[in-house]
Structure 1
Amino acid sequence: MHFCELGDPGELSPSQILIRTEFSGITNGTERHAMLGEFNWNHFPGRHGYQHVGIIEATGNEVEGFNTGERVFYGAYVGHRAWHIVDTENGPPLLITLPDGMDHPYCALFGVAGVGLRCVRRVRVRPAQKVWVVGQGLIGGFAAQAARAYGAHVTVTDIDENRLSLARSCGTHRVLDACDERVFEQLKEGGPYNIVIDGSGYKDLFFDIQEHALLARRGVIGALAVRGETTFDWSMLHQRELSVEVSCHFAVEDLTILRHFVREHIIHIKPVVSHRVSIDEAPDIYTILRDRPAELLGVIF
């Protein structure tokens, strides 16, 4: 991992926006998978990072809806940069304004929070449904918060007591230790679940859901975490009319909804930040991310 000089932004075209970065977020998730070459589209060297908070420094004369001096979140996967040029010519960019009164540094994790919220929307979480979120890393934790925001009764499981404690502090209804030998009994007591969201990538999850009859009829599995080859019994879906949905990244609409929930103190970002450091410490953070990932949750430069 090393720094490189970007130079000056240069002159803007009429449809472009120049953003000067204030904060940049990374997560123990997408960036680690990319660093380890676990995506098919990986190449080295590469730039990774998709969560940027900054100030609009200049706009072209054709730009509408964004003004110089506004603070924004930008969600393009372009790496951690001192500045960004965003082009609006081909449609709305992955960009939203951040009003005064918000805790702006923590908005640098809007990306991963948006990933969790998008999954909740994709699997159609509704009020009074029972939702089980497997894994309380960042995407699982934000999926649990989003499911609760949409009115569901939320159960979560994880093997890490610190993450379970964090889930409790964020208002999760039922928090279960996946290492407890009674965990499937406890899950069955709270089920069956209308929706199971996988935030862990645990390879036997589909078989466990089938063996313990944890999904309600016409229930949905939200396959959110990164997986390799995945095997399940087709009869599991056929007998109960279940479905599997895959969700990835986020859109402007997801970010707009997330901004509302954060402003109303319904979804909480600050508790999941494990490190807030200068960008100069990025090499150390990436070493931890590679070698000791359990030490990190959200990181803000």
Structure 2
Amino acid sequence: MMRRIGIEYPQRGQMRLSDIGEPPPLLPTQILIRTCYTGVTNGTERHALLGEHGFTVYPSRHGYQHVGQVEAVGTSVREFQPGDWVFYGQYVGHRGWNVVDVCCTDVQSYSSHLCLRLPEGIDYRLCALFGVAGVAMRAVRRFRVQPAQRAWVAGVGVIGQFAAQAARALGAHVTVTDLQPRRLEVAEACGAHRVINVHEQGMEPLREGAPYDCIIDCSGVPSLLQQIHEMQLLAYKGVIGLVAVRSQTEFPWAMLHGTEASIEVSCHFSLDDLRVLLYFVQQGIIRIEPVVSHVVPIEQAAAVYETLRDHPAELLGVIFDWTQS
């Protein structure tokens, strides 16, 4: 059944299900996708819900993780056909249907249509987290993680979980840190080589594994860059990858000068990142199911957003099921 609803933030701290109407007639290069599952982008959606980091316009819609079936295709479309299962990754918010122009097929650009056909035999529901996993995959590839490197992922929320898995998939020795025991348990179950609860163990175990060739910040802790410098955690010509959303960033210049290192950022994901992600998922190297904490009908979304607003640490991977009536 095609749902005519979408998730909207009418004002700061609130969400509602709104009517999005019927799909328009398709242009020749467009396809119509009926949504079956969507995934919550915890960090981005919480920032938007609370009006943080420049998210100040309401009403607004946020999110970029849809899984569904192609219902119809335009007259010029050859790549997709009705009945195909697809992941769709553009930033359009949670919606019961999507009309997508599939003429832009640049596999390296996040400006492409970002529709990935999903093979038979895969758990389509779990693919609703391909967006956050795709963000992590693009970041790890952009930060040039390589075999035998030492990688440290700071903060293993949803994107941090997949950044750790992606770094391990590319051959790195992976250390993860967090304050939440449950998140660390999930990261360890998914293959992280070292897990450190900095609340209980402090920073010394982290120093013992240094220097790190790649430090991937998925926490957004303002003091992190200063700590990296003071503890000399960054390797010569290493990379600090800033993944967590932030407004401004300050860093000690000497941290990069002596090491000839770099600070880099990454944005969204491409079709090629999704292709690589799908390969690792099919091989069982990247695992999604352990990262999922909640699967709920879309009608219960309000309770999820209350938790996201007030108790975000209780959520990890969240999937909305649109197939239940």
Q: State the TM-score, normalized to the length of structure 1.
A: 0.97
Give the Cα separation in 1 of the matches to 2:125 and 2:53: 29
Q: Which of residues 32, 57, 61 is equivalent to 1:43?
A: 57
Q: Which of residues 37, 42, 46 is equivalent to 1:23?
A: 37
Deviates most, 145-154 or 79-88: 79-88
Alignment partner of 1:3: what SS? strand
**Partner residue in 2 for 1:159:** 179
Give the Cα separation in 1 of the matches to 2:259 and 2:97: 51
Structure 2: runs of 5 or more not aligned: 1-14, 106-111, 321-325
| CA deviation map 1:222-255 (0-9, x unaligned) | 0111123221111111111010011121111111
**Partner residue in 2 for 1:129:** 149
Give the Cα separation in 2 of the matches to 1:90 and 1:99: 21
- Is residue 193 from structure 1 mapped to residue 212 from structure 2 by the alignment? yes
| CA deviation map 1:251-277 (0-9, x unaligned) | 111111101111111111111111100
Q: Which of residues 287, 295, 299 is equivalent to 2:314?
A: 295
- Is residue 255 from structure 1 mapped to residue 269 from structure 2 by the alignment? no
How many equivalent residue pairs? 300
Contact 2:41 2:64 in 1 (8 A): no
What are the residue-to-residue correspondences of 1:10-159 with 2, within 5 Å? Answer: 10-40=24-54, 42-91=56-105, 92-159=112-179
**Partner residue in 2 for 1:217:** 236
- Is residue 231 from structure 1 mapped to residue 245 from structure 2 by the alignment? no
**Partner residue in 2 for 1:245:** 264
**Partner residue in 1 for 2:3:** none
Structure 1: runs of 5 or more not aligned: none
Give the Cα separation in 2 of the matches to 1:197 and 1:30: 17
What is the Cα deviation at residue 34 of structure 1? Answer: 1.1
Deviates most, 207-216 or 31-40: 31-40
Contact 2:153 2:218 in 1 (8 A): yes
Backbone CA RMSD of aligned residues = 1.2
Deviates most, 226-235 or 193-202: 226-235
Amino acid at match of 2:282: R
Amino acid at match of 1:157: T
Q: Which of residues 169, 179, 184 is equivalent to 2:203?
A: 184
What is the Cα deviation at residue 285 of structure 1? Answer: 0.9
- Is residue 275 from structure 1 mapped to residue 294 from structure 2 by the alignment? yes
Give the Cα separation in 1 of the matches to 2:150 and 2:131: 25
| CA deviation map 1:4-50 (0-9, x unaligned) | 22222132111110000000110321111111112325410001121
Contact 1:128 1:153 in 2 (8 A): yes
Query: Stretches of 4+ moved more than 6 A in 1?
Result: none
Deviates most, 223-232 or 109-118: 223-232
Give the Cα separation in 2 of the matches to 1:63 and 1:241: 48
Amino acid at match of 1:297: L
**Percentage of identical aligned residues:** 56
